Amino acid sequence: MRPLLESTEIVLNCAGPFFRLAVPALLDAIATGTTYVDICDDPEPTAQMLALHETARSAGVCAVIGMGASPGLSNLLAVRAAKQPDTVEDCFTAWPLDVRRPGQTTAPVEETPTVDGRPSAAEST
């Protein structure tokens, strides 16, 4: 990907699976001095990319990770929703992969856990 990034000002990485592609894409962006934004919501590559903070800073690269649906848009929507009522006790966001959607004829998707048994993408908290 480096040859493509050498003549690019900014890259928006929406390519998954992030556990395979996010860290290499960020490393290529750092190597080429390209501003980097992604929608990664997988915990493992997120931790690895956060560990590259000083490397990106030293290279003068602005890298914004996790600007996707969750975290990202879901967080912003939760904040907006929380401002509406007088009090908020809990706020949950989740990807209901195991729920059959209206009109869906196939079985719901089951989340495949990572090696440590946790979901590989957005988790509700």
Instruction: Specify the 3-state DSSP secondary structure of 12.
Output: strand
Question: Is residue 3 over pLDDT 60?
Answer: yes
pLDDT at 125: 39
Question: Is residue 28 over pLDDT 60?
Answer: yes
> Which is more confident, 10 or 41?
10
The pLDDT confidence band at residue 124, using thresholds 50, 70 and 90, is very low
Tokens of 50: 């956060």
pLDDT at 63: 96
Question: Is residue 74 over pLDDT 80?
Answer: no
For residue 70, is it within any domain? Answer: no
d(CA 122, CA 62): 24
To the nearest whole number, what is the mean pLDDT of the chain? 80
For residue 27, is it within any domain? Answer: yes
H/E stretch holding 30 reads: helix 18-32
Q: Can you give the pTM of this predicted structure?
A: 0.61
Instruction: State which residues form the domain around 17.
Output: 2-64
Split into its structural domains, the chain has a count of 1
Residue linked to tokens 């956060």 = 50
